[in-house]
A = this chain, B = another copy of it.
């Protein structure tokens, strides 16, 4: 978050965003949609993990994606290749998706009654997206092991707020000087509650565990929608 903005108007604008986020969540709940907000720094592998995730989810569920990028449709195109509907939102100079942008994306998606799960891929930024809820039921923070074991300590808000942490690019471990035990300890330090999945989208290792966690949550969300 920009400091001056925070000092002058921050509380009110965050409050306004939270109000819209709550509206979005009520909308999701009404339609029985489980919403996931995927966040990370640039190039940590959000889109690569989503390519695998969408192919798996679409076997049993109706899934859609709202894809946030400052410019380009590059990631949206990659995800459309899975056959899942993708709404691309270009944020221009904005460094994160907010609740209003996601609300606009929902209108583009059309009939929400058919949808089981909405995945929001946020702008690649380890700082600002953590400040702005979009109405999600869970926040997933990705961290590539190429970024170093110190990152949970240096960007604590993102990892503290996450309901689930996915450590990516595990296939590169033999070629890096990273101390994975220290990374695990740092994650535990910042967020002792969130499950941590250690994966490589390239080799597939760990991806099933992530999918099992995610599908269980979608399933419970669907059951709750039926019961209520």
Chain A interface residues (CB < 8 Å from chain B) = 1-6, 8-9, 13, 16, 41-43, 69-72, 74-75, 91-96, 98, 123-128, 131, 144, 146-148, 150-151, 153-157, 169, 171-172, 175-177, 202
A20–B141 Cα gap in the complex (Å)? Answer: 35
A124–B153 Cα gap in the complex (Å)? Answer: 13
A42–B148 Cα gap in the complex (Å)? Answer: 9
User: Within the complex, which residue of B9, B128, B154, B202 is in contact with A8, where a contact is CB–CB below 8 Å?
Assistant: B9
| A83: min CB distance to chain B, Å | 22
Asked if residues A154 and B69 are in contact (CB atoms below 8 Å), the reply is yes
A9–B12 Cα gap in the complex (Å)? Answer: 14
Which one of A9, A16, A126 has the highest number of Cβ atoms from chain B below 10 Å of its Cβ? A126
Given A5-B9, A70-B154, 12 additional A-B pairs, CB 8 A? A1-B2, A1-B95, A2-B95, A3-B92, A5-B5, A43-B147, A43-B151, A69-B154, A74-B153, A124-B154, A124-B155, A171-B175
